[in-house]
Structure 1
Amino acid sequence: MTDREVAETMPRLRAALAGWDGQGLPPEAAFAALAEEAGAALEERRIGALAQRLNFEQSGMRALLLRTARASDRLTAPYAESLPALDPRWADPQVWKLLQRAGGPFTSLYLLRALDLTRTPDGEVRPVEPDRALFITLFLRTLWVSVIVTAACVLLGWPVAAAIASLRPPWSSIGLLLVLVPFWSSVLVRSTAWFALLQREGPINDALVFLGLVEAPVQLVGTRIAVLLSTVHVLLPVAILPMVGVMARLDPRHLQAAASLGAGPWLRFRRVWLPLSLPGVLAGGAMTFLLAVGFYITPALLGGERDQMVAWFIAQFLNRDVNWGMAAALSVYLLAMAGAVVALLRVLTGGTPVGARV
């Protein structure tokens, strides 16, 4: 990942720290460059991105940098004395090492932090504090939800696809149209519909109370079950369509031949129909998983704080925190997760791309 905030905002400081060996405190030139360039960056309103970058790596750096920038016109040489007098942290070599590491041009900070790791001032990689560990749990949650959604879509979609494939025209076209109509509908519209259905005063709660399953309306919006139900509903057509495409092209003479050899219905299904339809099942499952793993709107609308997935955090880092480094790091790992699934499916299908069999 690129790391250019220090280089662009404080080029003199970066040059002064480039030759520092990390022993003791840096030379007076580094102190002077920091004091002068911090004040200039504040006046020109260029200090925000730098303060955010440093504070992301070490809490408190934003306040330290802004305090120094505001007091820059009162600082006098030798700055190696006036800066520590302003704030004792400027006498800490670790703070200067952080500035040196942030000089770029590249950093592994975001890739490490996306795995709940950090780099010490001595260069050692270690886990972050338990109260700051977040992203491993986030990736596992995203993987778990995506696998559950994929399994549910395949199990629900397989009999629907088999039924549509067995119909004759024009009924097969009508059945396929019934699948395509919700597929063409907006994801936001369908998610909003679930938001209305799952309200405490919504029809689902009314039905639960009427059937005596609950004594009073329960909280469904903001729960994991809401995310799973709505995501399965949104992605079910994605799983059905590839399976229909494969099943509709299966030659019925294979089943007839198996029956003529004495195979019963279960044996014909297990030894003939299922293996021949498996490429469509794998294709539908792969497409469903790839969409589920990057889902954003539905979990954001119907899930609680503990139900958000990786895509939600990517959006937050982009739109709220303006931290493109973390957004890029999370995107890289999300892409790697999706690529691993595609590679696994290629192995399961004998090395043939899944889409080539659909």
Structure 2
Amino acid sequence: MPASDTGLRRSLRRAERRRLLSGLGLTLPLVAFLLGFFLLPILGMLEKSVENPEIRAAMPETARALQDWNGEGIPDEAVLATFAREVVAAQKARTLASVAKRLNVEHSGWRSVVMAAGRGLPEAPEGSWRDTFAKLDPAWTEPEIWQAMKRAAAPYTDFYLLAALDLQRGDDGAIRSASADEAIYRTVLWRTLWISTVVTLACLFLGYPLAYRLATLPEGTANLLMILVLLPFWTSLLVRTASWIVLLQREGPINEILQRLGLITEPLALVFNRTGVYVAMTHVLLPFMVLPLYSVMRGIPPSFVRAALSLGARPTTAFFRVYLPLSMPGVAAGCLLVFILAIGYYITPALVGGQADQMISYFVAFFTLQTVNWGMAAALGSVLLAATIVLYLVYARLVGIDRLRLG
């Protein structure tokens, strides 16, 4: 091989390496940003949903003793003595409240039982520890509280994830449905998906004709009207939501106009219910539907529809057989974007919806800000993340099949 060819290949390889390193250098800030502000928080949320640190942190010796206990009846005197000693120590260190709060999640009322033990346990028992605990509260003679404490002493738990799906693990370890008065989260999840679906369809119904009209106008006129579409982005979400409360209330302008036109005789209930949620969320999310549709429709040559018309197709036939299939990538992108944004909405349903209209994000905020139950908040967030991923995979599958058929 001539030396000139070898030198040329080396130069090409060096140039390729420089191009590759340059590309990696340009994408490294984005990768670091996604890793630090997207992937790691998600992993942290997933860890929080199965983390079980309260008893192990406040009572490490009790946690180890309970893990060795067979779970039948009441623990022996050695375990009870260890527990009593660490209860007193945790009370002095002011860490007993976290243990009591964790057990109260398992069964309402156990918090007061644990806190009373911290205040009333003596340094040394009068007789056996079993009798001492029984005198404090009869709940300590029941196996259920000790079995719950054994579960809470494990490093990881599926309690929160099961609770987020209205499931619970019985004393025998079997998973069963929660009681009717405790099962709310599956209903909330279906409500979230239903509201998001209705809002997505409403945005598509309103956004498709608007995007079609913008795409057929001259570029200057379309750009001017696009400013009106983007105008809501320049207004605070909270302000827009509060404005809809004013517009939709019983004495608001919408009801007043309908009454003056004679369309209604009494004011309609348009706010603090599902109707208000649909209207406000559709208004907020409509631009996210219009933008993908407009970008795709702008790239469809008008000559395609004219060709169909020149070949004898009716306008409706030309639209459904030519234009609509070509615009489907914009429809799919817009629907996916609006739906994913809708399922995580919190402010709009919380302000304009009623008690039966709150979505799953409301309960995530409730457990995060009010009860400070990070495990339950992370579990609900994980369920919502899983539902989003499943729906996205179904969407990708359907779009892939449709593309193959179109091809």
Instruction: State the one-letter code of the partner of 1:227.
Output: V
TM-score (norm 2): 0.83
Structure 1 CA distance, aligned partners of 2:56 and 2:133?
Answer: 21
Instruction: State the one-letter code of the partner of 2:80.
Output: F
Of 152, 158, 180 in structure 1, the residue corresponding to residue 230 of structure 2 is 180
In structure 1, the residue matched to 2:45 is none
Deviations 1:290-309 (A, max 9, x none): 00011001001111111000
Deviation at 1:10, TM superposition (A): 1.1
Structure 2 CA distance, aligned partners of 1:185 and 1:29?
Answer: 65
Instruction: State the one-letter code of the partner of 2:84.
Output: A
Deviation at 1:98, TM superposition (A): 0.9
Instruction: Single out whichever of 117-126 and 334-343 deviates more from structure 2.
Output: 334-343
Structure 2 CA distance, aligned partners of 1:31 and 1:334?
Answer: 41
CA RMSD of aligned residues (A): 1.7
Structure 1 CA distance, aligned partners of 2:273 and 2:265?
Answer: 19
Matched, 1:324 2:371: no
Of 88, 100, 120 in structure 2, the residue corresponding to residue 71 of structure 1 is 120
Matched, 1:113 2:149: no
Determine if contact 2:160/2:379 at 8 Å carries over to the other structure. yes
Deviation at 1:74, TM superposition (A): 6.7
Of 21, 35, 60 in structure 1, the residue corresponding to residue 109 of structure 2 is 60
In structure 2, the residue matched to 1:99 is 149
In structure 1, the residue matched to 2:51 is 2
Structure 2 CA distance, aligned partners of 1:151 and 1:49?
Answer: 45
Seen in structure 2, the aligned counterparts of structure 1 residues 266 and 215 have a Cα distance that, compared at 3 Å, is closer
Structure 2 CA distance, aligned partners of 1:49 and 1:207?
Answer: 56
Seen in structure 2, the aligned counterparts of structure 1 residues 75 and 60 have a Cα distance that, compared at 3 Å, is farther
Seen in structure 2, the aligned counterparts of structure 1 residues 261 and 224 have a Cα distance that, compared at 3 Å, is same
Structure 1 CA distance, aligned partners of 2:70 and 2:314?
Answer: 79
In structure 2, the residue matched to 1:356 is none
Determine if contact 2:297/2:327 at 8 Å carries over to the other structure. yes
SS class of match (2:132): helix
Deviation at 1:218, TM superposition (A): 4.0
Structure 2 CA distance, aligned partners of 1:188 and 1:293?
Answer: 18
Instruction: Single out whichever of 102-111 and 181-190 deviates more from structure 2.
Output: 181-190
Of 186, 201, 206 in structure 2, the residue corresponding to residue 151 of structure 1 is 201
1:285-300 to 2 correspondences below 5 Å: 285-300=335-350
In structure 1, the residue matched to 2:97 is 48
Determine if contact 2:67/2:154 at 8 Å carries over to the other structure. no
Determine if contact 1:161/1:247 at 8 Å carries over to the other structure. yes
Matched, 1:201 2:238: no
SS class of match (2:301): coil
Instruction: State the one-letter code of the partner of 1:80.
Output: R
Instruction: Single out whichever of 299-308 and 43-52 deviates more from structure 2.
Output: 43-52
Matched, 1:348 2:392: no
Of 273, 296, 305 in structure 1, the residue corresponding to residue 323 of structure 2 is 273
Determine if contact 2:199/2:342 at 8 Å carries over to the other structure. yes
Seen in structure 2, the aligned counterparts of structure 1 residues 352 and 342 have a Cα distance that, compared at 3 Å, is farther
Instruction: State the one-letter code of the partner of 2:168.
Output: T
Structure 1 CA distance, aligned partners of 2:216 and 2:397?
Answer: 30
Deviations 1:171-202 (A, max 9, x none): 01012111111133221111011011122221
Determine if contact 2:85/2:123 at 8 Å carries over to the other structure. no
Determine if contact 1:35/1:75 at 8 Å carries over to the other structure. no
Seen in structure 2, the aligned counterparts of structure 1 residues 217 and 258 have a Cα distance that, compared at 3 Å, is closer
Determine if contact 2:203/2:286 at 8 Å carries over to the other structure. yes
SS class of match (2:176): strand
Deviation at 1:15, TM superposition (A): 1.7
Deviations 1:265-296 (A, max 9, x none): 01100100000001101100110000001100
Deviations 1:73-123 (A, max 9, x none): 376253122011211121112211111111121000011001111111111
Determine if contact 1:114/1:326 at 8 Å carries over to the other structure. yes
Of 148, 164, 172 in structure 1, the residue corresponding to residue 214 of structure 2 is 164
Instruction: State the one-letter code of the partner of 1:144.
Output: W
In structure 2, the residue matched to 1:223 is 273
Identify the structure with the greater helix proportion. 2
Matched, 1:21 2:73: no
In structure 2, the residue matched to 1:33 is 82
Unaligned 5+ runs, structure 2: 1-49
SS class of match (2:181): helix
TM-score (norm 1): 0.94
Structure 1 CA distance, aligned partners of 2:402 and 2:224?
Answer: 32
Determine if contact 1:2/1:104 at 8 Å carries over to the other structure. no
SS class of match (1:130): coil
In structure 1, the residue matched to 2:351 is 301
Unaligned 5+ runs, structure 1: 354-358
Deviation at 1:124, TM superposition (A): 1.2
Determine if contact 1:183/1:238 at 8 Å carries over to the other structure. no
Deviation at 1:66, TM superposition (A): 0.8
SS class of match (1:131): coil
Q: How many residues align?
A: 353
SS class of match (2:165): coil
